[in-house]
Amino acid sequence: MLFLRIFVDIVILIGIFLFPAWIFIILSLIGVFYFHRYYEILLVGLMVDSLYNSHILFSGFFYTITSILIFLISFEIKKRLKFY
pLDDT in tens, 6-62: 998 898 889 888 888 778 788 888 889 888 889 999 998 888 888 887 666 556 788
Q: How many residues does the chain have?
A: 84
Q: How many helices (H) and strands (E) does the chain have?
A: 4, 0
- Quick check: 1 pLDDT over 90? no
Cα–Cα separations (whole angstroms), residue 8 to 16, 28, 37, 43, 53: 12, 9, 14, 13, 24
Cβ proximity of 59 and 34 under 8 Å: no
The predicted model scores a pTM of 0.80
pLDDT score for 80: 86
- Quick check: 84 pLDDT over 60? no
